[in-house]
Each structure stands twice: as C-alpha cells, then as structure tokens.
A and B are shown apart, each in its own frame.
Chain A
Amino acid sequence: MSEARLFLLQRLTALVMAPLVLVHLVLIVVAVQGGLTAGEILGRTQGSVFWGLFYGIFVLVAAIHAPIGLRNVLREWTGIGRRPIDWLMVAFGVLLLVLGWRAVVAVVGGGA
C-alpha cells in the first residue's frame, strides 16, 4: 500500500477513534464509581449490540491505526529492513484484531 494511502488511513482511523476514546474514558470514570466488579461489567455488556459494535469498530480502527504509526517508529529507530517491517506490522495488526475481537466477544457474547 502506498505511503499516501497509509497516511490517509492513519488520519481517517484517528478521526473515528477520537470520539470512541472519549466515550471509553467517560465510561471508565462512570463505571468505577462505587467499585467495579466483573459481574457489573458483564451485566452491562452481555448481549448488547451497541457495545458489541462500539468496541468491535474500536478494535478494528485501532488495529489499522497502531501498526502504521509503529511502522514509522521502527523505520526510524531500528535497523530492520523496510519489507520485514511491513510484514511484521501486518502480523501486528492481525494480532491486535484477533485479541481485540476475542475480548469483545468475551464481554458481549451470551455468557455461555
């Protein structure tokens, strides 16, 4: 993928993430009022299409956004070649996606 496309993708995903991050942070602050239990969290999230979509999209854009930035950091700060970095970053993105979506399924899924 071209540098211009990655540049655009990084900015578009940032645009999507900005409100998601805000909601996520506010949610944390609200949720921890009066203590936090696994049961309470699952009670809110299980079966919720809204939170499933919310965090599903969050994970997707983060999995696109983070490797693009990390790619630049690795290019500048390590001696790893450009090709290997690109493949590493594809793998990193997939890893984020799999771990993230697995977590989303775990908290939103029916609790079976």
Chain B
Amino acid sequence: MAYVAIADRDHEIEHHDPTTFITKYVWSQDHKVIAIQYGVTALFVGLIALILSGMMRLQLGFPNSFSFITPIEYYQFITMHGMIMVIFLLTALFLGGFGNYLIPLMIGARDMVFPYMNMVSYWLYLVSVIILLSSFFVTGGPTGAGWTLYPPQAILPGTPGTDWGIVLMLGSLAVFIVAFTMGGLNYVTTILQARARGMTLMRMPLSLWGIFVATILGLLAFPALFVSAVMMTLDKVAGTSFFMPAIMSMGETLSHEGGSPILFQHLFWFFGHPEVYIVALPAFGLVSDLLSTHARRNIFGYRMMVWAILAIGGLSFIVWAHHMYVSGMNPYFGFFFATTTLIIAVPTAIKVYNWVLTLWKGDIHLNTPMLFAIGFIFTFTHGGLTGIFLGNVVVDLPLSDTYFVVAHFHMVMGVSPILVVFGSIYHWYPKITGKMYNETLGKVHFWLTFLGTYAIYLPMHYLGFLGVPRRYFAMGDTEFIPESAFVLNQSITISALFVGVVQLLFLYNIIVSLKKGKPAGPNPWRATTLEWQTPDTPPKHGNWGDNLPVVHRWAYDYSVPGYHEDFIPQNVSPDEAPVTEEHGPDT
C-alpha cells in the first residue's frame, strides 16, 4: 500500500477537539497553545536574565557602592545571565515559540505530526527551567563558572556554586536537550511531511527555512553539549577524570589525574558555535518576512537566501575552534579555522545585501515590526563586522576576553535576535490574539531600545581596545585603564538600566492590548502567507475549518504588476489572479 500524504488524507483523519479547560490550555497538544506556553516561559526567564544584567551593570558602573553584590554573586549573575539568554530565552523562544506557532500555520497543516511529543517537549522545558532556577535557592547558590562552564574551575571549590549549582546547571541542560530534541523531531518531520497541497519546499516563507535549518543544526549540535554535561557531571559526582587534570586545590592534591580541559572546550564549542546560528537562522528567516511584507516587495533573491541559509548551516560545524585561539593550537589548525570563519561571512553578507535590496524602491511602511526589522539590519551588520576582526587569529589574541568581545557577541547574538523577537511578536500579535497592539507605544519602545542598546554597546568596543577585561568584578587601580573608562562605565550602566526599564513598555503594551486593543481583523498587514488566511482569528483548534488550504504560489507576491491588490495570498490560484505581465526573477 503506497503512502498517502497527510494533506491528501485530511478528510479521513479524525480530529478531536479538546473539551475541558485542562486539555485546552494546560495539557494542551495544540501547537498554538504550546507555542504560547513556550513563549511566555521564555520571556519570563529572559526577564530574570535582564534583571541579573542590571545588577552586574550596577556593580560595574558604581563599584563598591552595593554591598549586596559580592564577587561571588557577580560570577553567579554572569553565568546565569549568559546561559539563560542564549539557551532558555532565545533558543526556546525562536524554536519552541515561533517554530511551534508558525510551522503548522505557514505550511497549511492542522497541527504538528506528533502533538503528544510536542506537549511533552514543553513540559520538559519547564522542568529544565525550574531545575535551573532552583539553583538560586540551594547551598552555595548557582554556579559561577561562566556560561562556558570550563573545567577544571567549574567544579573546583573556589568557584561559586560548586556544591549544587553546577550539578543543577548540568542537569537542567540535559533535560533541556531532551525537550529540544522532542520538539525538533516534530518541527523537521512536520515541515517535511505535513505541507498542504502545492506548498513545495521552495514556496515556503523564509521564516520556515530559517527555523527548519536551525532545528537540524540543533538536533546535531546539542548532543555535543549533552556529552560534555554527562562527562562533567561524572567528573564532579563520581570522581572520574574525563576533563579533570591532576591538580592541587586548596592545598590538597585531588585524586583526579590526566584529564583534558581542552577536550571539554572542543565539545562545548562544537555545540557552541552552531548554537549561534541556531539563534541567528530563525532570526534571519523571520526578519526576511517582516521586511518583505512591510516593504510590499518580494524578497530579493529568494533562492539565494535559501542557499545562503543552507551554506551557513553546513559551514557552522567547521568553525568551532575560533573560540579556542587563546587555548593554543597547531598554527595550521588556527589557519584552517580562521579561513572557514571568514568564508562563512560570504553567505551572511549575501543575506544582508538581499535584505537591503528588498527595501530598495519598496513601498516601506514604517510601522513597529518594520522598525525592528530595519534596526536588526544595522545591529547585525555592526556585530558581523567586528566578528570578522575577531575571526583573525592575530587580531583575536589581544582582544580575546576583553569588552570588545562582549560588545561583539551582544551586538550579533544578543541585540540582533532580540530585535527580531520584538519585531516578530508585534507582527504576529494580531494573529495570535486577534487584537492590535498600540502602535505609538510600539514605536517608542523601538526607538528607546534601539538607541539605548547603541549607548550600551558602542562604548564597550572602546573599553575593549583599552584592554578592559571581561568577567571582572571590579577594575581596581589598574594602571593601563584611564579614568575616562570609569566614566564610560557609569554611562553604560545608566543606559543599560534605562533600556531595561523601557522593556516595561513592551510588557504593558502586549498585556493591556489583550483587553483594550482594537480588533485586528484576519489580515491587518495584507500579507501573503497562509497563517493570515485562516478562517478564524485567532485560529481555532485544527486551524483551517473544514478544508485545508491549497497553495498556488510562493510567499512573496507583493506589488505584482497588473493585479488590483498589492499582494496575492499563497492560496489564490493563477486563474483567480490573472497577471498581465510576467514579473521578473531576481536570481
């Protein structure tokens, strides 16, 4: 018996609507509810990470004024801030949140193919978050090893949180990885097998390409973090010596011998670099769709954009050691990794050009999502350029572990993805809730955040040139650091606190608009993609009512000459939308 595609079997498959409150909103298997659960949880931990960064900035800007921040706490804050932002906020939000919401809607499916596993994925994620946060309340507090968790210091006394903190951190990561894998298998299988009739891969919106390839990267790269977490837990708990060298600690010789901290670094960064793209690729995808929709213009070079995503995905596995230049390596390896790092800049640059060219002569609507999307082009280009500096071994050596690096990675993987997160939340808010957010408040939020982040991170590059080291509690009386650096640090802190408080505008906006927002209607942006063509807004369980949509065109038919509207939804057939002129391919 030959296999029949899901979309063609739709009428044979029984759909059960959940009936009780619990199955509808708590133990829900509906991808939209799971997406919101993921999103809200991620934003919640993100808020904690933001508060932690505010505390760090207080200490850095005004050393010795806050007795409640000791060096021990400072290290714990750094570690939790970094890990939460990268894994528990951004990864979870882009894939668990946007991935869950958008995949079935954009491909025209009723749900994920394994809804039960999808639900388990969220609850495991929640467990991992709870384990992580519980480390604030155990003896010794959370680990202070830095988000990279390098051994041997990560598990030796002297580093904060070696009683329980580090074990909880590693356990939490392991659970997160299991949760992610369950979600990830779903995203991949759903995109491959549940697409509506006519929705070929090359007709998918770029959002889905970004999420799809990022998921593949995650599935293959997270095991490296899992392996290192397991082996480090054993070193800590069972006394093995995978990573632990023979070492004296607190005047005593420990029983460990012969282990290799460098081995950990290889494993960690084998995960760590692809992780950058696990966060960046969904952001690339989403931002492409925001730009195209709000510029009323087809995305420039769609095929090239897809290829660039694939190329970046493939290359991201062979650049990891650029994080280990200072750990020492064979110069030929250094040369190899510097080269691959620079090569990855090529597809990345192509994407940036294509975004800019999409805007060229577009009918740009500068509403909130668009502002955030354009802001992203700035911050990403900026962070990308400093990355090219750091990719070179000779430039990296003096700048490594200074504030230049802090500025670089915040621009490229902190600020840029966060801008896309905001832009995308504003963009899809009307679909998710059926209400319109407050546009003025949104714009104010954008400008204060955008300018504010520049006020924070631009000066940090300069601090890096001065040689101000990263991960230091206080500078003290260091000769090479001039007085001006302290003033600069104060100004950075004030900007950071300001930007932090500004985020309340966002929370206020999305919470109050739930009640007070104007009804948005099904397609307020006049967008082409399928999620805007659902029969109900917000979409009901099963998404499409009685009949699945049928797709006839790509996602970017904006301003097609000869058509009476400036957009043609993907489910409009060529007969319904006769176009007089052939409009031009860009690739």
Tell whether A pairs with B: no
A residues contacting B by CB (< 8 A) are none
B residues contacting A by CB (< 8 A) are none
